[in-house]
Amino acid sequence: MNALYNPRLPLDGLTRRNFLRASGVVGATALLAGTAGCTWNDVTRAASQNPLPAGTPILVLVTMYGGNDWLNTVIPAADPAYHDARPGMSYAHDEVLALDSVSGLNPGLKNMSSLWSSKKLGIMRGVGYPNPDRSHFRSMDIWQTASPSSPLNTGWLGRWLDHASDQEPLLGLNIGPVLPVLAVGAQRTFAALSVKEPVTEPLSAVMAALGTPNSADTEAQRIVASSYAAVGRVRDDVVTHMSQVSLPDQVTDDGSLKSQLLTVAACIKLGAPTRCYTVSMGGFDTHAGEKATQQLLLTTVDTAITEFRKAMTDSPRASDVVLVAYSEFGRRVMANASEGTDHGTAGDVLIVSDRVKAGFHGDQPSLTDLDQGDLKASQDFRSLYAELLTSVLGADPTAVIGTGITASQVLV
């Protein structure tokens, strides 16, 4: 078992915030402050009052925490350098699910392989950024803030919200109560959806009273009080929206990627006014005994995406969805002696959509021309963000991620 990273807890706790502060970022206290908790009933109400116009593109962003080993995900199985680098943990050419004459998918990604055949899968290769950082915490911050050179305390999707003219509170929706930094802007944050929250509790009147604002609060006290305000809303919802649409039975609060994506499917089908959903899964930090562990993780991802698409099949909005999966870095080309891999640099990004230009985008970096044992990135992740901002979220990328970045043209 290599699950150093709990899938239910994005790496946004003590360590990341404190390190941001330690590195001199002012105002990082705001990162988790004011999290707008919301419930399924908030979603149903918003969907009936302000449904998303038909045909609006929708982004579903999947964060894979821990650093996925992309070389054992999109596998250059015909390249002898791959087998030389990974004795005991490489996949033979006839084991992989062929994509072209050189590469194939990990055997755990059976449904992704069908999506490839039906031209619904795009794969960006060699995605990274200059001067790669091999710390989970820093590298994930870099991907989520879209700022490789200096620490920032806002995420790229949070800044998208800051600049959006649509003031709908559910425009961005994170599945789960804890917001990753990518969903936090300077003025606005994503809403954080908790499903199947307890709706009755003792002390309900008391909790409503504790949820009222108090001007003398410290920041920490204000956050505690706002958590009670959210509980108060849950109770009101139960009273006034008893007959609302309920979530499908197979959706649980187990935090699995499948549950998260099925929740997203339910929101989209209901017409929630949300243009961007964020979900996540952890456990990809495979320093030892990687092959079996990672195949299991990838099977979990594969199943979750399949169930999501299955849930969407009868919806006219299915073709509006662009699903993107990324991780903070790929792993070292050379295996270590524990049949695992250490932290590396460039990796792939998976894009599943009716709207994707199917196939490979960008070149697989050479496995022999390396930078300190690691792949040299052939494209910058911000070019993908520019494409998603322009083509899915209808935003001007320069306001969000700066100038001089050319969109990657991966979508139709």
Partner 1 sequence: MRRAAFGVTGADVDRVGGGVEAWIDDALSPGADPGVDATPQPTFAAIPAVAANATQAQRQARNQAVNAQGDQLTLWWVTRMLAAHRPVVERLTFAWHNHWATSLTKVREADLMLLQNQLLRRQGLGSFTTLAKQMILDPALLIWLDAEKNTKAAPNENLARELMELFTLGVGGGYTEDDVKQSARALTGWRVAASGAVTNDAKRTDPGPETVLGVTDHFTPLTLLDTILADPSHPRYLATRWWHQLSSDDAPPDDLVTRLAASYVVGRDSTALIKAILVDPAFASAAGTLMTSPVEWVVGSMRTLAVPVTAANVQAGLAVLRRLGQVPFYPPNVSGWPSGASWSSSAAASTRAAAATKFASLGDISEVSNASATSRIDSVAHLLALDHFSDRTLTALALAKGNPAQLVATALISPDYLVV
x/- map, 172-211, partner 1, by CB under 8 A: -----xx-------------x-x--xx--xxx-xxx-xx-
As measured in angstroms, the least distance from the Cβ of 228 to partner 1 is: 5
Q: Could you tell me the smallest distance in angstroms from the CB atom of residue 198 to partner 1?
A: 5
Backbone angles phi, psi at 191, to 5 degrees: -80, 150
Q: Which of 11, 60, 191, 367 binds partner 1 (CB under 8 A)?
A: 11
Tell me if 269 sits within 8 A of 320, measured CB to CB: no
Residue ranges in 57-116 that form contacts with partner 1 under rule CB under 8 A = none
Q: Residue 82 or 308: which CB sits closer to partner 1?
A: 82
Contact flag: residue 14 with partner 1 (CB under 8 A): yes
The widest CA-to-CA distance across the chain, in whole angstroms, is 68
Q: Does residue number 303 form part of the binding site for partner 1 (CB under 8 A)?
A: no
Assess 398 for contact with partner 1 (CB under 8 A): no
Would you state the structure tokens that stand for residue 330, as one six-digit string?
């790929």
**Amino acid identity at 184:** V
Q: Which of 330, 319, 321 is nearest to 381 (CA)?
A: 330
CB of 184 to partner 1, least distance (A): 11
Q: Which of 28, 115, 164, 401 binds partner 1 (CB under 8 A)?
A: 28
Window 204 to 263, contacts with partner 1 (CB under 8 A): 205-207, 209-210, 212-214, 216-228, 230-231, 234
Do the beta carbons of residue 31 and residue 14 sit within 8 Å? no
Residue 227 vs 390, nearer CB to partner 1: 227
- In the numeric block, which tokens belong to residue 327? 């991780």
**Site map (CB under 8 A) of partner 1, residues 345-384, x = contact:** ---------------------------x------------
Q: How far is the CB of 402 from partner 1 (least distance, A)?
A: 23
- Spatial contact of 282 and 3, defined as CB atoms under 8 Å apart: yes
The Cα–Cα gap between 210 and 320 comes to 42
Give the total of residues touching partner 1 (CB under 8 A): 75
Residue 54, classified by CB atoms within 10 Å of its CB into exposed (0-12), middle (13-18) or buried (19+), is: exposed
Residues facing residue 351 across a β-bridge:
122, 324
Distance in Å, CB of 234 to partner 1, minimum: 7
Position 158 contacts partner 1 (CB under 8 A): no
Residue with Cβ nearer partner 1 (23 or 118): 23
CA atoms within 13 Å, Cβ hemisphere of 65: 22
CB count, 10 Å around CB of 223? 15
What distance in Å separates the CA atoms of residue 383 and residue 405, rounded to the nearest whole number? 6
Question: Which run of H or E residues covers position 36?
Answer: strand 36-38
Binding letters toward partner 1, positions 263-302, x by CB under 8 A: -------------------x----xx--------------
Please state the length of the chain.
Answer: 412
Smallest separation, CB 193 to partner 1 (Å):
11
Q: Select from 44-52, 182-190, 260-268, 330-338 the region that touches partner 1 (CB under 8 A).
A: 330-338
Helices (H) and strands (E) in the chain, counts: 12, 13
Q: Does 137 bind partner 1 (CB under 8 A)?
A: yes
Task: Select from 167, 337, 369, 404 the one that contacts partner 1 (CB under 8 A).
Answer: 337
